[in-house]
Amino acid sequence: MTEQTKILVIGANGQLGIELTAALQEKHGYEQVITSDIHPPKKQHALFEPLDILDKDRLYALVEKYKVTDIYLLAAILSAKGEQNPMLTWQVNIDGLMHVLELARDAKVSKIFWPSSIAVFGGTTPKQNTPQETVTSPTTMYGISKLSGERLCAYYAQKFGVDVRSLRYPGLIGYKALPGGGTTDFAVEIYHKALEEVAYHCFLKEDTVLPLMYMPDAVRATIELMEVDADEISVRSSYNLSGFSCSPADIAEVIRKTMPDFKIDYRPDFRQKIADSWPNSIDDSKAQEDWNWKPQFDLQAMSAEMLENLKRMKAAKTAVNLS
Ligand code: VAH
């Protein structure tokens, strides 16, 4: 009989963590998912233990206390915020990963999920349909830490047989939680501003095309990858993953189809240089071959769901305020 899956989600209160935790609870059962984060939850959504990923002893203690079998290590400092404190970004993103990889090497956990990003690519990477194997020359500490982390994952898998799996996420868009300091945060902020009926001052140029993905697709890709037989996995660094590609102007145009008065202007800041170093589109044929990956949401479908759900949440909040 296989040991019962007991999951520890590290960084569970962030944009991805909140949605991934809910999906893992649905699949494995509420009691099988322990969440942890350096920040307390805004509302109790799971069994929670405070954890700073740099606190190795506490991490080991939690794994022992709950007999954890699988770790989803989401704790990270993202691209834009990371440039404000590059040393801390390296520490959190790399030392945190090393703690978890060492746990698996000591056979204290059996499976790890660790997110990488299209931020591992740089200005010399082919921009269209960026291949799985290509030039990677990241120019942010976030991208450098994710590229280094990918190499660590491949090393631990090859040398120690650690079952670590990873995805190079595009920019993620969801309505259930705000993003946390990334260069692609514009793709979420734009919807909130549209619903607040105020002009959006976009921090990227209107024609900045980037790879993006609706959160339900990212969550499903993660769970599908973690479910596939280990011998089906041919990429132990991190799989390219593609949803759709678009610019801020493309999103504004789709919003205006139902909200014609939506206003946006473009005021590029330091994040423009980061965005310009990233690909326009991603070739994820390896993920398609190895585990039959296929996105379900394009720009139009994502936008419809974002507007519908944010409108519903806004109406509910208004009702509460009026009651
Ligand atoms: C960031 N949202 O902007 C993250 C992501 C591809 C971008 O890694 O830093």
| pLDDT per position as a tens digit, 202-217 | 999 999 999 999 999 9
pLDDT band at 160 (very low <50, low <70, confident <90, very high): very high
- Distance between Cα 275 and ligand 1 center (Å): 9
Provide the mean pLDDT of the chain: 96
Under DSSP, the state recorded for 94 is I
**Helix, strand, coil percent content, the chain, rounded in steps of 5:** 45, 15, 40
Q: Which two tokens stand for residue 81?
A: 């915020």
Beta bridge partners of 202: 266
Global confidence as pTM: 0.96
- 142 is annotated as an active-site residue: yes
In a 13 Å sphere around the CA of 241, the CA atoms on its Cβ side amount to: 32
pLDDT band at 193 (very low <50, low <70, confident <90, very high): very high
Nearest CA to ligand 1 atom 8: 117
Give the pLDDT confidence score for residue 107 in this predicted structure: 83
**7-171+215-240 and 172-211+243-280+297-316, same CATH topology:** no
Q: Under 8 Å CB-to-CB from 317, ≥6 apart: which residues? A: none
Q: What number is the average pLDDT over the span 146-158? A: 98
Q: Which CATH class is domain 7-171+215-240?
A: alpha beta
Distance between CA atoms of 203 and 189, rounded to whole angstroms?
A: 10
- Distance between Cα 31 and ligand 1 center (Å): 31
Q: What number is the average pLDDT over the span 218-244? A: 98
Give the pLDDT confidence score for residue 259 in this predicted structure: 96
For 174, other C-beta atoms within 10 Å of its C-beta total 24
pLDDT at 305 over 90: yes
Give the pLDDT confidence score for residue 1 in this predicted structure: 45
Q: What number is the average pLDDT over the span 304-308? A: 98
Atom of ligand 1 nearest to the CA of 184: 3
Distance between CA atoms of 162 and 233, rounded to whole angstroms?
A: 13
82 ligand 1 Cβ < 6 A: no
Computed on alpha carbons and rounded to an integer, the radius of gyration of the chain in Å comes to 19
Give the pLDDT confidence score for residue 129 in this predicted structure: 98
pLDDT band at 233 (very low <50, low <70, confident <90, very high): very high
Query: For the chain, which residues make up each domain, given as ranges?
Result: 7-171+215-240, 172-211+243-280+297-316
Residue position matching structure tokens 């939690």: 62
Q: Out of 30, 66, 72, 142, which one is annotated catalytic? A: 142
Q: Cα–Cα–Cα angle for 144, 148, 149, nearest 5°?
A: 115
| pLDDT per position as a tens digit, 54-102 | 999 999 999 999 999 999 999 999 999 999 999 999 999 999 999 999 9
Within 168-208, where are the H helices? 186-195
State the CATH architecture for 172-211+243-280+297-316: Alpha-Beta Complex (3.90)
Cα torsion 35, 40, 43, 44: sign: positive
Beta bridge partners of 117: 169
Specify whether the CB–CB gap between 201 and 267 falls below 8 A.
yes
141, 184, 244: residue to mutate for ligand 1 pocket, most atoms within 8 A of CB = 184
Beta bridge partners of 246: 210
11 ligand 1 Cβ < 6 A: no
pLDDT at 133 over 50: yes
pLDDT band at 319 (very low <50, low <70, confident <90, very high): confident
Residue position matching structure tokens 């305020």: 321
